[in-house]
A and B are shown apart, each in its own frame.
Chain A
């Protein structure tokens, strides 16, 4: 199981996957908004989204967990 972390501080703008969904390495799973920019966060490996930890609109710090992939 791997945890996808926020690459920088910002607000969760869009969660583009749902729990149980299959994802491929490199695929965007969450888009943060920070410094008025869209910050795509992608999966590091293939797997299934096990749990989404954050909600849209939440503030996250760099290195905070966003979701779990199995």
Chain B
């Protein structure tokens, strides 16, 4: 501490963060200083902070290792908490925790988004009585996060570790952006894993960004650099209102990207042949407006924010190019969270269905595919935002249900001319119904019989027959789909619905 404390030189010292050797270490790891990160996150810089002088008499704990305050992103007021990894590795003491709790309370009162810039080794064990167990201990951070969930957007950018209890900050955020190579989440470090359970493993394998964004699903976006991660976060928030009472703002409409083929050429007539669903999405949305979430996790379903005619929408689409577009436990989980995110913040949902159904077999039954599938159907049923279902090709079995089929009160269910809705496809259905009959027939007659029955089945589930029975609300040529969706989106903007009255549903988990 200086002999003569003046506000000016004390403030200057605090703004420098921790000891220069920790700044050096940061640089070696390709990490930016917390105040550099904040400059990139905000239009200008953080406008004001609370608790800058937290623990200022300790001398070596500037701001007690966390910056909390307010700034503007695209002109909108947002709150932030950002760990300073140069101060005791961003660990939490009593005042660190109090500052985080207070900025959460501020965001709650102001009804504005809250960004968590996480880079922290976890609790300071030496301070545990003051910061761990009590009413305003670290547990309160997570309690507040749960309370704020769905009320204001909560965005996490993970630049370094988020260890043990700290790993629950990302877990309760709407979205987790992880910087490859530096970001990690884990309950027990590799050292602890070796001591306690005898497992020898490195950090990257156990809790690295790539693992979490591809396998565990705890991470949503894998960024190569800190700059890329911050750019993603700044773009992401543009699709959201400040809180659940507001609607997301439209931006200037743009035509879709130029695509080499007509839409009807890119959808194969044979239901069993894969195609790339991203191509269809590109033809539907405004150019460069796709902000994909969980791109690397369960890629058999695509979830992302986009704009149509400038209006933010949430897209859920089966991807026939990966695993046939079949729904798995992970894909159902991924869709459930995304649907709930969009519904919370009044972002209309568009489902593009091309789905053979939920996966079957021992492996997925053991993984609990039924309860995971139930999660998706639960979230989709509860969603009261405008809900538009497009049957692109097949929608078989519970796949139709999960993709907001007619029974789940979409505002409309549109079929493309290539659509096929059924309990199962013709091949499987004929086998299921006529297996005994086929076995009794002489070998030479079997193929002809099967083909005849398949043809009859196809007629039975013909899309115009379903349209005639009012199962679908419209049948549309693929090339007319975008303009049809835009008209309906505009019309459905005034939708207001209360799902039902009760305390809350008992969500399958």
Report A's interface with B, CB cutoff 8 A. Answer: 7-9, 34-40, 61-62
- Determine whether the beta carbon of B326 is less than 8 Å from that of A37: yes
Rounded to whole angstroms, the CA-CA distance of A9 and B366 in the bound complex is 14
10 example contacts (A-B, Cβ-Cβ < 8 A) are as follows: A34-B324, A35-B326, A35-B357, A36-B272, A36-B427, A37-B320, A37-B324, A38-B272, A39-B274, A40-B321
**Contact of A37 (CB < 8 Å), options: B325, B328, B360:** B325
Partner of B323, one of A7, A36, A61: A7
Inter-subunit contact A8/B326 (CB<8 Å):
yes
- Where the two chains meet, the residues of B that have a C-beta atom closer than 8 Å to any C-beta of A are 272-274, 320-326, 328, 356-357, 359-361, 363, 424-425, 427-428
Closest B residue to A39 by beta carbon equals B324
Q: B470 to nearest A CB, angstroms?
A: 28
- Contact between chains at A62 and B324 (CB < 8 Å): no
Residue of B322, B359, B363 near A35 (CB, 8 A) is B359
Distance from B315 Cβ to chain A, minimum over Cβ atoms (Å): 22
> Which residues of chain A are near B321, meaning CB under 8 Å?
40
Whether A39 pairs with B356 at a CB distance below 8 angstroms is no
Cβ-defined partner of A38 (8 Å) among B322, B324, B359: B324
Instruction: Point out the residues of chain A lying under 8 angstroms from B323, CB to CB.
Output: 7-8, 34, 39
B274: chain A residues at CB < 8 Å are 37-40
Minimum CB–CB distance for A31 against chain B, Å:
9
What is the minimal beta-carbon distance from B324 to any residue of chain A, in angstroms?
3
Residue in B274, B324, B326, B428 with the greatest tally of chain A CB atoms within 10 Å: B324
Contact of B428 among A8, A36, A39, A40 (CB under 8 A): A36
SS class, residues of chain B in contact with chain A: loop
A38 to B424, CA, bound (A): 16
Q: Is there an interface contact between A62 and B363, defined as CB atoms closer than 8 Å?
A: yes
- Bound complex: CA A16 to CA B328 (Å): 26
Supplied contacts A9-B363, A34-B323, A35-B357, 7 more A-B pairs, CB within 8 Å: A8-B323, A35-B326, A37-B272, A37-B324, A38-B274, A39-B323, A39-B324
What residues of A have a CB within 8 angstroms of the CB of B361 in the complex? 9
- Using known A-B contacts A7-B322, A7-B323, A8-B326, determine if residue A36 contacts B425 with beta carbons closer than 8 Å: yes
Taken together as a complex, chains A and B put the C-alpha atoms of A64 and B233 apart, in Å, by 37
Q: Which residue of A lies closest to B320 (CB)?
A: A37
Q: Bound state CA distance, A40 and B323, in angstroms?
A: 8
Q: Are B326 and A34 in contact (CB under 8 A)?
A: yes
A35 to B359, alpha carbons, bound, how many Å? 7
Complex Cα distance, B354 from A10, in Å, reads 19
- Asked if B273 contacts A36 (CB within 8 A), the reply is no
User: B384: shortest Cβ distance to chain A, in Å?
Assistant: 32
Roughly how many angstroms separate A35 CA and B184 CA in the complex, as a whole number? Answer: 36
A29 to B238, CA, bound (A): 41
Contacts of A61 in B (CB 8 A): 363
Q: How far is the CA of A34 from the CA of B428 in the complex (A)?
A: 11
Q: Known contacts A7-B323, A8-B326; is A35 also within 8 Å of B427 by CB?
A: no
Contacts of A9 in B (CB 8 A): 359, 361, 363
List the A residue with the shortest CB-CB distance to B427: A36
- Please pick, from A7, A35, A39, A40, the residue contacting B360 in the complex, using a CB distance under 8 A: A35
